[in-house]
């Protein structure tokens, strides 16, 4: 299949899933082709709503995502899932476990599932994810679910590229470290206690409620706590309703526009920083670099003046 971005975008908008997968691969890889894709899809999007699901490995995010896809499909909406795993060097398909779990949607044309990792290009997932979301937006996916692993800095950045962020915890969460909790309180729009079939979900709910009572309500929204059993679908409709309520809150209060503006601000800064960094790597090599390096080493020149000369060419 062609690698020409314009041809791929047209085909993907016609429902060609191979073309869509190709576009996402280009985005993952970064570089000139990814930028070409970005230029093509940006004007075509703007209507999709995105939901980020984050939480510790094993919390049940993939299972819950798959169940949520079922609820979204029952409402007749087209949906895409991005499983973002920075620790996985593989891409181009689903992680094995996810493929099994999401298997029930394999024959549904209204569902597109993709796992994403970057091969270490500058900016990484924090830049690739919003770009991938724009590709999915431009190809008619009304909802995009973004599953991220863990709760580190990258995950928080990735989670914040969604309109609504769902934090998935399990009963017994009360035993976990306090520091991680504070970070989660900051990003959660909706809390899910998944594996509510296990003992301790009432304690976990109480724990969450106490923490929520102590943290100031953000943007006039107090995060609801939804209990689910993702493996048998219990509570999944409640989660879908909670997401709908948050969506309406975002729209009614102008928060959606505000969040998008803030996200764009961060993204644009990150793009500029990435491109300057790439340019810096280019400058730090070659004949001129070797000459200046030798001059500094021989004390004919100081490092600051050497950098002035290099940057004069930037
Ligand atoms: N008992 C129970 N097990 C669950 C539930 N949801 C997920 N699991 C199991 O927990 C394990 C991890 O689930 P997975 O969706 O891969 O978690 P992820 O790493 O957060 O994506 C799997 O074996 C699931 O079958 C649940 O509600 N109850
Ligand atoms: Mg998973």
Question: pLDDT band at 174, cuts 50/70/90?
Answer: low
91 lines ligand 1 (CB under 6 A): no
Q: What is the mean pLDDT of the chain?
A: 88
Considering every ligand atom, which ligand is closest to the CA of 101? 1
The residue whose C-alpha atom lies closest to atom 3 belonging to ligand 1 is 195
Pocket test for ligand 1, best of 55, 58, 63, 95 (most atoms within 8 A of CB): 63
Specify the pLDDT at position 89.
Answer: 46
Model confidence band, residue 92 (pLDDT cutoffs 50, 70, 90): very low
Ligand 1 atom showing the smallest separation from residue 234 Cα: 27
Flag the least confident range among 87-96, 218-227, 267-276: 87-96
Residue 286, pLDDT score: 92
Beta strands 143-149 and 164-169: pairing type?
Answer: unpaired
Q: Among 41-45, 46-50, 214-218, where is mean pLDDT lowest?
A: 214-218
Q: What is the DSSP string of 133-192?
A: HHHHHHTT-SEEEEEEEBSSHHHHHHHTTSSEEEEEE-TTGGGS-HHHHHHHHHH-SEEE
Are 187 and 159 a contacting pair, CB within 8 Å? yes
Does residue 170 surpass a pLDDT of 60?
yes
CATH superfamily of 45-253: P-loop containing nucleotide triphosphate hydrolases (3.40.50.300)
Dump pLDDT digits (tens) for 247-302. Answer: 999 999 999 999 999 999 999 998 999 889 989 999 999 999 999 999 999 999 99
CA nearest neighbour of 240 among 145, 100, 99: 145
Nearest residue (CA) to ligand 1, atom 14: 60
Pocket test for ligand 1, best of 230, 232, 238 (most atoms within 8 A of CB): 230
Q: Which residues 6+ apart lie within 8 Å of 304 measured at CB?
A: none
Q: What region, left, alpha or beta, does residue 8 occupy, with left being phi > 0 and alpha being psi -120 to 50 degrees?
A: alpha
Ligand 2 geometric centre to CA of 123 (Å): 23
Q: Quickly state the pLDDT bin for 98 (edges 50, 70, 90).
A: low
Residue 94 pLDDT > 60: no
3-state secondary structure at position 229: strand
The structure tokens listed for 178 are 């306090």
Q: Is the CB of 129 under 6 A from ligand 1?
A: no
- The residue with greater pLDDT, 158 or 91, is 158
Confidence of residue 93 (pLDDT cuts 50, 70, 90): very low
Cβ contacts of residue 101 below 8 Å, gap of 6+?
Answer: 62, 63, 66
Ligand 1 mean position, distance from CA 235 (Å): 14
Could you state, in order of their start, the residue ranges of all structural domains in the chain?
A: 45-253, 270-312
**Mean pLDDT across 203-221:** 88
Distance 100 CA to ligand 2 centre (A): 11
Q: Global pTM?
A: 0.90
Reported confidence tier of residue 91, pLDDT bands at 50, 70, 90: very low
Find the mean pLDDT for residues 38-48: 95
Q: Is 197 in the pocket of ligand 1 (CB under 6 A)?
A: yes
């Amino acid at each position: 299949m062609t690698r020409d971005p314009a041809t791929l975008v047209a085909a993907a908008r016609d429902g060609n899933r191979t073309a869509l997968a190709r576009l996402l691969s280009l985005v993952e890889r970064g570089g000139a082709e990814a930028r070409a894709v970005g230029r093509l899809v940006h004007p075509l999007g703007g209507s999709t709503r995105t939901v980020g699901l984050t939480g510790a490995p094993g919390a049940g995010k993939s299972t819950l995502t798959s169940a949520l896809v079922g609820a979204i499909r029952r409402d007749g909406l087209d949906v895409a899932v991005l499983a973002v795993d920075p620790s996985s060097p593989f891409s181009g398909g689903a992680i094995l476990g996810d493929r099994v779990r999401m298997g029930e949607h394999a024959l549904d044309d209204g569902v597109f599932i993709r796992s994403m990792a970057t091969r270490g290009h500058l900016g990484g997932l924090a830049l690739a994810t919003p770009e991938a979301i724009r590709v999915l937006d431009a190809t008619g996916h009304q909802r995009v679910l973004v599953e991220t692993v863990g709760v580190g800095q990258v995950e928080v950045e990735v989670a914040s590229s969604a309109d609504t962020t769902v934090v998935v915890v399990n009963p017994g969460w009360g035993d976990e470290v306090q520091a991680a909790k504070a970070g989660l309180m900051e990003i959660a729009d909706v809390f899910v206690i998944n594996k509510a079939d296990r003992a301790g979900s009432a304690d976990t709910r109480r724990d969450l409620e106490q923490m929520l009572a102590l943290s100031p309500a953000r943007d006039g929204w107090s995060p609801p706590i939804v209990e689910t059993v993702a493996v048998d679908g219990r509570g999944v409709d409640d989660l879908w309703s909670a997401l709908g309520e948050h969506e309406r809150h975002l729209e009614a209060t102008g928060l959606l526009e505000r969040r998008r503006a803030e996200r764009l601000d961060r993204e644009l800064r990150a793009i500029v920083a990435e491109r300057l960094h790439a340019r810096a790597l280019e400058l730090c090599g070659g004949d001129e670099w070797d000459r200046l390096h030798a001059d500094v080493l021989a004390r004919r020149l100081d490092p600051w003046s050497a950098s002035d000369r290099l940057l004069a060419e930037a």
